[in-house]
Amino acid sequence: MPTRSRKRSFKRRGGLLHDAYQGVDGKKVGMMMPGSMVGEPVPAADRAARRAEIGGDDALKASRAMDAFSDEHSPEMLEQLLVALKKRNISAPLRLTAYADDPRVQPALLDAVRTVPLEDVPNFGQGLGIVGGPGARDALRARRQEALSDPQTFAPDPFFNSRAGAAMTCAEQLLDLDPEDQSAADTLVRLTGHVCNFNRRSAVWRAAEALARHKGLRTRPLRELRAVLIALIDTPDDDVFCVLAPALWDDERVPARMGRLLESRALPKQQLALGTLWKVEWRGWPLLIKWASRPRDPVLVLTTLGPHLRLLPEARRAEVAQRGLANPSPSIRRDAASVLASLDRAVAAKLARYALKDEPDPAIRAKLAPHVKSPDRRSKPPHKRSSSRTRR
């Protein structure tokens, strides 16, 4: 009697694909992506009703509808997003930045930043910072000063002090709009010493992001931010170190410490370093290759490296793809199917045929199918005749 397959399909709801699985570290991982990413957009007959949910009163349902329509840029979407912004849905501001040319968008974002509760400023301030425009800097400065004047901004919090988060967001966006803004840099520097660990890491991360986005500029505020980060390279807090590392990768101490984290026996330390290496791109590839070439769980290598798997030898890529295609999680199998394009065609065809025997999900089947037809090794390319001049 054939063994029943353990492979699961994505759960499909409202134009979204959902999956949940247990990672190699034992932690539960939740995944959601738009169906349009796998050729399954919201059906035409359902689009109007689903789009209308964006402007509805159910904030979570509205946010999910925005995710489902990530493939759409239309006047109808803009109207619903403006309604959602008016209802202060925190998912609307960033979506609206794609419509910055519409004259209604910037004033609506400006009004939101001026009027939302201080705790909600980060979501709206980021959108306004991206769009900019008249009054943007004044509004961000006013909300930042409001946060800094509130004693609760510097109070401890078991998770994250949202008022301090508002001050950070405003400071970061002000530096994006004007890298000469000294008071914005001073705010970030001050918050790198916040009593709450999460806020402290967030302030360091935002300072590092500001330096990365203004790479090449040497304004006084940016120089001071850089000096603060350099002083933290040897911090005993690995989380703080990893958020500043991409901005200071040229300092030889940074890749050296990153290499030590990758060699740690503690998987969380490795994962912390691996998440950082994604951000330094090609500069971190040698460390990635070294880590992935050691004996490690192939699924961990797959979920960690993603597209960077192409840097590994083909035999290792084939091993990772084979293990990934047999995993119960459709998210992992889909990632593994993406690896096949980098393999020898005959090897890819063999792996795809075997995986298709018990693959239940149509999106993954569609991804595997093009690889099934192996090349005909017996056929040879047509012989080209060499041209020769006719002698007279």
| pLDDT at residue 375, rounded to an integer | 56
Q: Residue 75 to residues 72, 98, 318: CA-CA distances in angstroms?
A: 10, 12, 45
One-letter amino acid at 351 equals: L
Could you identify the residue written with the tokens 């091993």? Answer: 319
Give the contacts of 75 (CB within 8 A, at least 6 positions apart): none
Sorting pLDDT into bands at 50, 70 and 90, what band is 380? Answer: very low
Give pTM, 2 decimals: 0.86
CA distance 252 to 255: 6
**H or E segment and range at residue 128:** helix 121-131
Q: Is 356 left (phi over 0), alpha (psi -120 to 50) or beta?
A: alpha
**Complete domains list, the chain, with CATH:** 101-236 (1.25.40), 249-294 (no CATH)
What is the residue-averaged pLDDT of the chain?
92
383: pLDDT strictly greater than 90: no
**Mean pLDDT throughout 75-96?**
97
Could you identify the residue written with the tokens 């949202």? Answer: 162
| pLDDT at residue 338, rounded to an integer | 95
| pLDDT at residue 392, rounded to an integer | 37
| pLDDT at residue 374, rounded to an integer | 53
| pLDDT at residue 294, rounded to an integer | 86
Could you identify the residue written with the tokens 């991409």? Answer: 246
| C-alpha torsion 49→55→59→65, nearest 10 | 40
Q: Residue 174 to residues 136, 199, 360: CA-CA distances in angstroms?
A: 9, 18, 50
User: For 259-278, how does the pLDDT look when each residue is reduced to its tens digit (9 = 90+)?
Assistant: 999 999 999 999 999 999 98
Give the contacts of 153 (CB within 8 A, at least 6 positions apart): 147, 161, 163, 164, 166, 167
| pLDDT at residue 387, rounded to an integer | 43
Instruction: Report the percentage of the chain scoring pLDDT > 90.
Output: 84
Sorting pLDDT into bands at 50, 70 and 90, what band is 390? Answer: very low
| pLDDT at residue 25, rounded to an integer | 80
Would you tell me how many other CB atoms lie within 10 Å of the CB of residue 190? 15
Instruction: Report the percentage of the chain scoring pLDDT > 70.
Output: 94
**Which of 7-21, 132-146, 294-308, 343-357 shows the lowest per-residue confidence on average (mean pLDDT)?**
294-308
